[in-house]
Amino acid sequence: MSAIKEEIITGIKNAITSKKLSKELTMGKLDGQVAVITGSARGIGKADALLFTKEGACVVISDVDREPLIETAREIEDTGGKVAWCIADVTKPEDTDKLMDTAVDKFGDLNILVNNAGISRDALIHRMTDAQWDMCVDIILKGTFNCIRSAAKYMMKKGHGGKIINTASVMGLMGNVGQVNYTAAKAGVVGLTKTVAREWARFGVTCNALAYGFVHTRFTADKETGEEVAGEKMGIPKKARERMLQEIGDKVMTPENAAKPVLFLASADSDYITGHVLNVSAGIYM
């Protein structure tokens, strides 16, 4: 072979290798995946959506709050992410059906479901109202069930596969004064997670839960100055919050910190993990 021919062939080989390398380097962990994230207008769900789209997923964000949801969609679009939004109350099966259909209509499939929507309605047991109990259990436990049941027609197919990530809490594992409704609902999410993992393993669907500790969102803000949601202030009473922060110190997470393990459970990195409750509390609970 002439020297010139050899040089051309080497040049072509190098070009192919560098193209392959650059493709590998730009591959996101969720390329080609379609995800639905509930309660993603703000807080942890929003951070999940931003991270997922950065990693190549098409994401349907959803919430009961229209304005912040649309604002989040705009923010994601500004980063070049592929996003659609859908108003959906997870307590309503017709809404959760519509939500899963939106993923398939807009992006052609449904591969990942993050059940993140949640609320707290705190009171000591003897003062807790039926409304407070029902609201927590309906949104957290029934809402998670509704979404999974609505996803069944897309995920329960031989060879389809999928990832379901449910949001639990360390409080559901250890109990917490003033949160009998919240802790019972979150503990319920753990049982539900393990049953889905068993029932849908044969379809290649994994189902895991995350048990968060303390994440900086309106959930954990000062109650006195906190946001009002459905007639009650969100957050933790200032004194209790200060005591808690003194105790847990550097164990407080940002929503961005909290989103990273969600990405792990949504990606192929966790393909052989199912029915697991991942403790993401920086050691608040062990």
Interaction mask 224-263, ligand NAD, x per CB under 6 A? ----------------------------------------
Nearer to ligand NAD, 19 or 218 (CB): 218
* Residue 182 designated active-site: yes
Of residues 159 through 188, those in contact with ligand NAD by CB under 6 A are 167, 169
Q: Is 200 in the site for ligand NAD (CB under 6 A)?
A: no
Closest approach of ligand NAD to the CB of residue 84, in Å: 16
Which of these segments, 52-60, 87-95, 125-133, 266-274, binds ligand NAD (CB under 6 A)? Answer: 87-95
> What is the b/e burial string over 161-198, where b = at least 16 CB atoms within 10 angstroms of the residue's CB?
ebbbbbbbbbbbbeebebbbbbbbbbbbbbebbbebbe
Tell the burial category of 263 from Cβ atoms under 10 Å away from its Cβ (0-12, 13-18, 19+).
buried
Q: Is 63 in the site for ligand NAD (CB under 6 A)?
A: yes
Compute CA distances 93 → 2, 38, 116, 236, whole Å.
Answer: 71, 13, 16, 31
Helix, strand or coil for residue 281?
coil
Q: Is 137 in the site for ligand NAD (CB under 6 A)?
A: no
- Phi/psi of residue 188, nearest 5 degrees: -60, -40
| # residues contacting ligand NAD (CB under 6 A) | 28
Q: Which residues touch 155 (CB under 8 Å, ≥6 apart)?
A: 110, 113, 161, 162, 164, 200, 203, 205
Which of 81, 118, 162, 226 is close enough to bind ligand NAD by CB under 6 A?
Answer: 118
Q: Is 117 in the site for ligand NAD (CB under 6 A)?
A: yes
The active-site residue out of 154, 182, 212, 272 is 182
Continuous segment of H or E residues that includes residue 215:
strand 214-215
**What span, in angstroms and rounded, lies between the C-alpha atoms of 46 and 36?**
12
Nearer to ligand NAD, 116 or 274 (CB): 116
Closest approach of ligand NAD to the CB of residue 210, in Å: 8
Residues forming contacts to ligand NAD in the complex (CB under 6 A) are 38-39, 41-45, 63-65, 89-91, 116-119, 139, 143, 167, 169, 212, 214-215, 217-220
Tell me the catalytic residues: 182
